[in-house]
Amino acid sequence: MHVAHFGHSCVLVELHGKKVLFDPGAFSHGFEGLTGLDAIAVTHQHADHIDPKRIEALIAANPGARLLSDPQTAELHEGPWEAVHAGNVIELGELRITGGGGRHAVIHPELPVVDNTVFQLGNTGNPTRFVHPGDSLWVPYTPVDVLAVPAAAPWMKISEAVDYLRSVAPRVAFPIHYGIIAEQAWGVYFSRLDEMRKSDTEFTPLRPEDTTAF
């Protein structure tokens, strides 16, 4: 598995011969020139996860890409967006994409809660090789190999991020969703996740435009 991070929650995953780009949002950069994508997956409708100013150009540059999203985003955007509900399974060659979760974490009780699809990548034998939870703390039902763990968010305390990382207990985790804090503060969040993770989880900070293999 190869993973490239384009800042905030935007991640490119290459697995089983397929390329899937997640959450190309307003706080991310560097994804604009990508071509040859097999799928573009959007967890939910917020602009930091799907940038309305750049998404159409990205789609035009990748005419063969499947457009996958939570149900509400599929309704809001024109084009062949496919609504992915919890339990839905999409096959892209050897790659299996499974929907999970369903709802965004609560920001405030007075604000409406929008749809949020958790995307799980793998195959029939191991459906959770990679998990992108979007803006949620939904725990998959099967062991997770690589988890993109939200590090900082308006809807989350750092204690909740630590508890989520412990609950999922992946083999490897790397932080996402930290485009909302100053770069000088990244280490505060990364160090807490690293220090308080379970001992059998490896924590690997991926900074914007970093690429690695898991």
Q: What is the CATH number of the domain that holds 72?
A: 3.60.15.10
pLDDT per residue as tens digits for the range 25-35: 999 999 999 99
Q: What percent of the chain has pLDDT over 90?
A: 96
pLDDT digit string, tens, across residues 86-107: 999 999 999 999 999 999 999 9
> In DSSP terms, which residues pair with 92 in a beta bridge?
95
Question: What is residue 41's predicted lDDT score, i.e. its pLDDT?
Answer: 98
Q: Strand, coil or helix: what is 58? A: helix
Domain that holds residue 161: 2-213
The token duo for 60 is 């035009």
pLDDT of 122 above 90 = yes
Distance in angstroms (rounded) separating the CA atoms of residues 43 and 61: 21
* Amino acid letter for position 30: G
> Residue 31: left (phi > 0), alpha (psi -120 to 50), or beta?
alpha
Strands (DSSP E) found in the chain: 2-5, 11-15, 18-22, 39-42, 66-69, 81-83, 89-92, 95-103, 115-122, 130-132, 146-150, 172-176, 202-203, 211-213
Domain count, the chain: 1
Q: Dump pLDDT digits (tens) for 50-86.
A: 999 999 999 999 999 999 999 999 999 977 999 999 9
The whole-angstrom separation of Cα 72 and Cα 177 is: 21
Question: How do strand 39-42 and strand 115-122 relate by DSSP bridges?
Answer: unpaired
User: How confident is the model over 9-23, as pLDDT tens digits?
Assistant: 999 999 999 999 999
Q: With a threshold of 0.75, does the pTM exceed it?
A: yes
Side chain identity at residue 54, one-letter code: R
Residue spans of beta strands (DSSP E) within 155-205:
172-176, 202-203
